[in-house]
Every structure is written in structure tokens, then in C-alpha cells.
């Protein structure tokens, strides 16, 4: 008997087999769940459909539990509505929805936050924060009572993480949206939460300089190590399952305890050791 036997839902935003969304989806399907997936639309001139192929390379491992794989542009309400209609036709109702969508122009990410362009800010905020509101609104008529909605955030939405820049502002807005959506959906018993994962080698992580962050987290986090995809996968599945009933409006950190630290901790010992060696 799997944790998700008889459960059906949507996973929005898998990019490839290193995506956190895929780690969560894989855990859900291993526990018996059925899923409809969306992916970033391919360009009309991309005959190879690279975005779709990256996702189907993952979902082909679960042919019976993958019910559909379709493109979705979260900047288009009609596109979002079409995905929800597809889910309604396939499932009738859904038990869970995972939102794992974020984007900012690389030029804006590489600038100091104060230099973020107006158009870049609007686009990043629309895709990375408003899209959660848009898909939750579109799904409200098909998600069951006592269902679950979850999204992906990062510590840079709580504290300044140099290099994360405009995306940190977007994640702060996303986390605020989680709290307000939790209130809106609360009367129906529907939980709305966010997962704040530490750095992982993902497509999005590569744009945020994840390599240096991995070293820093390992040195500072109380667990003295980095997290794994499997750990985030299990935590995400927990928030989308009945086991998390009673939890809503929360940000669950999966970062080895890094967020709990008020100082560099054991990293100071390494610094002192290097100083002593260089004297």
C-alpha cells in the first residue's frame, strides 16, 4: 500500500531529471500516485522539441502513472485553463498540485539588484510569483477538499543572498502568496505550503552559482553536509500527502539546518586554522 495509492495530481515545471520537481514527482509515483506533467513550451522552430524530450525522458520511466505531458505558458491564462481542463478530463478531480516554476533574465540576475530592469522585474515577478496565484485560481474547481498545493522557494527570499538578486525578491513575494492562499483555501481543508531547499545541482541552480554555495552550506550547516535530491523528493511528497494535514502557510526548510544558523559556525574554525597556518 503506497502513500499515494489512488491519488492524482499535477506537477508543473519539471525541466529535466535533475529538477527538484522531478525528485518529488518520482517519489509520489513510487508511492502509487498518478500525475499529469507540464513543461516549458518549445519554440516553434525547435523541431527536436528539446524541452518536451527532457521531460519525457523522465516520465517514460513511469508509463502507467504518467497520464499526460503538455506544454504550459504561465504568462497565458488561456494556456493555464487548457491544462486544467486536460486534468479535469483525465482525473475529474486532483488531490495535489506542485508548482515549480521560476524565471528571471540572466542579465538581470548578473546585475546588482539595484540595476534590475523594469521589464525584467515585471517578467520575473509574473513568472516566479504570480504564476502560483494564477494556477491555484485555475485549479480551485478541480482540487479536492483536503488536497494540497506546494511550491518551491529558497532562503534568498528570507535573507539577502548575494548573487540571487531579483529572484530573492520574487521568492519573498512567492512566500507571501503562500500565506494568503493558505487562508483562501483553508475553509476547504486545502493546504498551501512551500519547500525551501538548499543548493542542488539543477538547471536553475547553475544560473545562481550553486557550486560555491554547495561548499559554503557544507561548512556552515549543522549537519555538515549538503542535502540530496531524494531528501527533497521525500519532503515534497510529505507536504503533498495526507501526512501533512494540519500544516499550511508554512515554509519547510530542507537545507541541513543552514537557515537556523546566526553565524558561520564551524566555518570559523576553518578560517582560524588557515590563519594560524599562514602566520
180 classed as catalytic: no
The SS3 call for residue 153 is: strand
26 C-beta neighbours (distance < 10 Å), count = 22
Distance CA 246, CA 229 (A): 25
Contacting residues for 221 by C-beta, under 8 A, at least 6 apart: 198, 255, 256, 257, 258, 261
Distance CA 195, CA 21 (A): 11
59 C-beta neighbours (distance < 10 Å), count = 23
What nine digits make up the cell of 169? 525578491
- Per DSSP, 128 falls in state I
Residue among 62, 130, 154, 183 flagged as catalytic? 154
Instruction: Please give the torsion angle defined by the CA atoms of residues 233, 238, 241 and 247, in that order, rounded to the nearest 10 degrees.
Output: -140
* Inter-residue contact 117 to 40 (CB < 8 Å): no
154 classed as catalytic: yes
The SS3 call for residue 68 is: strand
The count of residues in the chain is: 279
Residue among 164, 180, 217, 258 flagged as catalytic? 164
Distance CA 259, CA 110 (A): 24
Which positions are catalytic?
154, 164
Amino acid at each position: 500500500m503506497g502513500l499515494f495509492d489512488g491519488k492524482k495530481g499535477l506537477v508543473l515545471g519539471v525541466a529535466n531529471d535533475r529538477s527538484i520537481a522531478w525528485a518529488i514527482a518520482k517519489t509520489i509515483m513510487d508511492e502509487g500516485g498518478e500525475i499529469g506533467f507540464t513543461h516549458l513550451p518549445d519554440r516553434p522552430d525547435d523541431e527536436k522539441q528539446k524541452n518536451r524530450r527532457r521531460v519525457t525522458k523522465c516520465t517514460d520511466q513511469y508509463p502507467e502513472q504518467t497520464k499526460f505531458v503538455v506544454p504550459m505558458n504561465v504568462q497565458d491564462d488561456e494556456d493555464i485553463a487548457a491544462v486544467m481542463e486536460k486534468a479535469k478530463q483525465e482525473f475529474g478531480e486532483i488531490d495535489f498540485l506542485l508548482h515549480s516554476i521560476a524565471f528571471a533574465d540572466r542579465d538581470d540576475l548578473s546585475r546588482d539588484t539595484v540595476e534590475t530592469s523594469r521589464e525584467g522585474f515585471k517578467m520575473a515577478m509574473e513568472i516566479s510569483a504570480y504564476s502560483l496565484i494564477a494556477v491555484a485560481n485555475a485549479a480551485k474547481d478541480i482540487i479536492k477538499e483536503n488536497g494540497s498545493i506546494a511550491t518551491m522557494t529558497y532562503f534568498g527570499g528570507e535573507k539577502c543572498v548575494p548573487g540571487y538578486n531579483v529572484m530573492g525578491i520574487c521568492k519573498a513575494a512567492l512566500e507571501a502568496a503562500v500565506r494568503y492562499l493558505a487562508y483562501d483555501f483553508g475553509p476547504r481543508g486545502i493546504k498551501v505550503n512551500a519547500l525551501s531547499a538548499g543548493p542542488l545541482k539543477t538547471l536553475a541552480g547553475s544560473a545562481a552559482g550553486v557550486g560555491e554555495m554547495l561548499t559554503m552550506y557544507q561548512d556552515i550547516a549543522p549537519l555538515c553536509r549538503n542535502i540530496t535530491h531524494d531528501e527533497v523528493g521525500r519532503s515534497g511528497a510529505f507536504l503533498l500527502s495526507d501526512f501533512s494535514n494540519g500544516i499550511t502557510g508554512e515554509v519547510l526548510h530542507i537545507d541541513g539546518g543552514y537557515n537556523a544558523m546566526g553565524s558561520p559556525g564551524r566555518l570559523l574554525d576553518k578560517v582560524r586554522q588557515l590563519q594560524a597556518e599562514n602566520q
